[in-house]
A and B are shown apart, each in its own frame.
Chain A
Amino acid sequence: MNIIVCIKQVPETTEVRINPETNTLMREGVKSIINPFDMYAIEEAIRLKERFGGKVTVVTMGPPQAESALREAISMGADEGYLVGDRAFAGSDTWATSYTLAGAIKKINQINVANNSLADSGKGHGIDLILCGKQASDGDTAQVGPGISTHLNIPQVTYVKKIEEVKEGMMRLERMLEEGYEIIETSLPALLTVVKEINEPRIPSLKGLMRAKSAKITALTQKELNLDPQQIGLCGSPTQVVKIFTPKPRAGGQILKGEIPDITKQLVDLIKDEVN
């Protein structure tokens, strides 16, 4: 099974500070980690590889320092890493990011086929599965995973809490709902986003860390990907951040006391006041 895992490097603190002038994240002085939800995606990919064989490729889009996130994933057991980065991609919103990552995944597939390291399965991608965390802990949009599947025109299943069964070209999954879960069957290749209930990510091994230290990370820039300039970076991003602010805490409610007819009257009066 050939699996791509899309990961994102995020600031470690949950208290992300926002630059009030540019409305962007202030990353200076904050340690970077792999988005915690992506750790479950990496772990699940490695477990599938251990069961069925194949290859796990990690991909991230970000600045050069995001390379350390790829190396960490390799130390856990992923086979190779691709760093998608270019000044032309700067300022991407979730639309442009998912478009770019979809382009990168197509490119990785071409590279794999060219290297003969993977036979093209004839399904257009040669890749059986793409895994993402359910969302990033900094942006919290949960849009990039589904966006990638849309750009690649493959099925998506979000909030996967368990892979129940894997068969030739098909998977049966448990998808988490607010109360309970639903069972979904999907054809492969597909894109899944996973929730933390799916597994417990492993601690890397020493040998894995040593391998990761010297592993080759392949850079993919706009030159290699040759994407539509209108759909990448800031100008390919329909989202415009007008303002970022912390919502005011909701004012406390009011508890009405007394006998039921009294309360009813008070309530009606309050509604009347509000309407007027």
Chain B
Amino acid sequence: MDYLLSDEQKMIKELAHKIAEEKIRPAAAKYDISEEYPWEVLKVMAESDMFGLFIPEEYGGCATSVFNLCLATEEFSRACGGIAVCYAASALGTFPIVLFGNDEQKKKYLPDLAKGKKVAAFAITEPEAGSDASGIKTVAKKEGNHYVLNGLKHFITNGGDAETYVVIAMTDKTKGARGASAFIVEKGTPGFTFGKKEDKFGIRASSTRELVFTDCKIPAENLLAKEGMGFIVTMRTFDMSRPGVAAQALGIAQGALELAVKYVHQRVQFGKAISSFQGIQWMLADMATEVEAARGLVYSTARMVDAGVKDVSKESAMAKMYASDVAMKVTVDALQLFGGYGYMKDYPIEKYVRDAKITQIYEGTNQVQRGIIALKLIKEMAK
């Protein structure tokens, strides 16, 4: 389908495609096994200005565009969902500063993030605060010109490898959701250490780690926006980043579909390529149609975000939920088309199944997304 991309968008897509094919795909299996952080690949992305796609020009980026970020994330994910998420998670950690940072904060942090010299991470999740963010226990207490952070964040993507963290902590527990605030915390700050690194089912090239804050003193100027705006920062950030997760799912699905089409064309049984069998053809047709439908949702939502449409929570939820459900279904079907070979780690397809699964879970499980969509429908009807 032709999405009538501009010349600049085509350029970004082609460049990301080149990086994916030349640098990501050949390294995907290696990082999946070793669980090392793919610095080498991120360096190539950085030198190609890919980290600038979500940062304004005046701070060294190429203008913030969720659509461009989605194009790049989709292409990277076609080759490896794990390496792609290291990139996309840096966007997630950068958005709060782009959206809510004051000029000084932007000048201090964005240029290095735009050049990919440093990567960012966003930390809200805690052991007892997943989908229910009101359960956050990490506290930030103001003491003179400082805040003192205490608590534990877990499942933090880019944890340990990122230099710049945006951390949500409670400044006033009595106020519930209105008592949360967002802070920029730099790696190396005394009292800020890293805990357990998770051993994951998929996206194994990315690091997922605990952040531990023990009397961690940060300067008061590291507060983003104002005290009590932590959840607003989070919601606005997720509105920007959710299409990116959807694009990741879309890319994983597209990558698996391409591998499957190629395979069934080569695989000969009963004297013919198995692509000549109707049972196989129907599977391919369904997979391709679903991927295209997901792409339509993702691109439309990303364009809405860039156009500045105020409330995109329903569309963002739809794009993330649908694209990740498609990714799960399409990768499982792709593996099925590979038959017994697909089940073996010598073939690349089983990794797509593992990488797809997380997209149904993180940045709001698909059950939570359905809740958002349904609530919105009911509200709209009641108007």
Contacts and interface: CB of A to CB of B under 8 A. Distances in A.
B12 A206 contact: yes
A209 B7 CA distance: 11
A207 B51 CA distance: 12
Interface string A183-224: 000000000000000000011111101100100000000000
A203 B11 contact: no
B47 interface: yes
B51 to A, nearest CB: 10
A203 B22 contact: yes
Question: Does more than half of chain B's interface fall in helix, strand or loop, or is it mixed?
Answer: helix
A202 B44 CA distance: 8
Interface in B2-19: 7-8, 11-12, 15, 18-19
B184 interface: no
B327 to A, nearest CB: 27
A241 B153 CA distance: 73
B18 A203 contact: yes
Contact of A202 (B11, B47, B50): B47
A205 B49 contact: yes
A205 B44 CA distance: 9
B47 A209 contact: no
Interface in B43-59: 44, 47-50, 52-53
Contacts of A204: 15, 48
Contacts of B25: none
Contacts of B52: 206-207
Interface string B1-41: 00000011001100100110011000000000000000000
B62 interface: yes
Contacts of A210: 8, 11
B11 A209 contact: yes
A245 B214 CA distance: 76
A33 B301 CA distance: 36
A213 B7 CA distance: 10
A207 B62 contact: yes
A209 B169 CA distance: 42
A206 B62 contact: yes
A217 to B, nearest CB: 18
Looking at A203, A204, A205, A206, the one whose CB has the most chain B CB atoms below 10 A away is A206
Contact of A206 (B23, B44, B50): B50
A209 B10 CA distance: 11
Contacts of A202: 47
Contacts of B44: 203
B47 A203 contact: yes
Contacts of A205: 47-49
A204 B47 CA distance: 8
Contacts of B50: 206
B62 A209 contact: no
A210 B63 CA distance: 14
Contacts of B49: 205-207
Contact of B19 (A203, A207, A209): A203
B65 to A, nearest CB: 12
A209 B50 CA distance: 12
Contact of A203 (B12, B23, B53): B23
A209 B53 CA distance: 14
A146 B61 CA distance: 43
A202 B23 CA distance: 11
Contacts of A213: 7, 11
Contacts of A203: 15, 18-19, 22-23, 44, 47-48
Contacts of B12: 206
A197 B15 CA distance: 24
Interface in A75-116: none
A205 B11 CA distance: 10
Looking at B11, B44, B50, B53, the one whose CB has the most chain A CB atoms below 10 A away is B11
A276 to B, nearest CB: 51
A207 B18 CA distance: 15
29 contacts: A202-B47, A203-B15, A203-B18, A203-B19, A203-B23, A203-B44, A203-B47, A203-B48, A204-B15, A204-B48, A205-B47, A205-B48, A205-B49, A206-B12, A206-B15, A206-B48, A206-B49, A206-B50, A206-B52, A206-B53, A206-B62, A207-B49, A207-B52, A207-B62, A209-B11, A209-B15, A210-B8, A210-B11, A213-B11
Interface of A: 202-207, 209-210, 213
Given A203-B22, A206-B11, A206-B62, 10 more contacts: A202-B47, A203-B18, A203-B23, A203-B44, A206-B49, A206-B52, A206-B53, A209-B15, A210-B11, A213-B11
Top 5 nearest A-B pairs by Cβ distance?
Answer: A206-B49, A205-B49, A205-B48, A209-B11, A207-B49
